[in-house]
Amino acid sequence: SESLVLHCKTHSGTKSNSCSECGRSFGCSSNLKAHMLTHSSEKTFCCEKCNKWFRQQPALSRHLRRHS
């Protein structure tokens, strides 16, 4: 199955998904997609407590811990 092929690539070190901006390579296309957000000025995740905006969900999650 396709999932098994993708899983095996994680063990072989094959990284066939390259960033067109910086050339960094990723084994999984979802990791490349997340990485591409670092090159974008678009911020889509907003803190409901202070209205600060973030490019990635993990950054917002880390930020939210500061409010608690």
Question: For 17-26, how does the pLDDT look when each residue is reduced to its tens digit (9 = 90+)?
Answer: 899 999 999 8
Q: Is the pLDDT of residue 32 over 80?
A: yes
pLDDT band at 13 (very low <50, low <70, confident <90, very high): low
The Cα 6–Cα 10 span in angstroms is 7
The Cα 28–Cα 3 span in angstroms is 11
Looking at residue 6, its pLDDT comes to 66
Average pLDDT over residues 49-57: 92
Looking at residue 12, its pLDDT comes to 66
The Cα 1–Cα 51 span in angstroms is 43
Whether the model clears a pTM of 0.75, i.e. scores above it, the answer is: no
The Cα 44–Cα 66 span in angstroms is 19
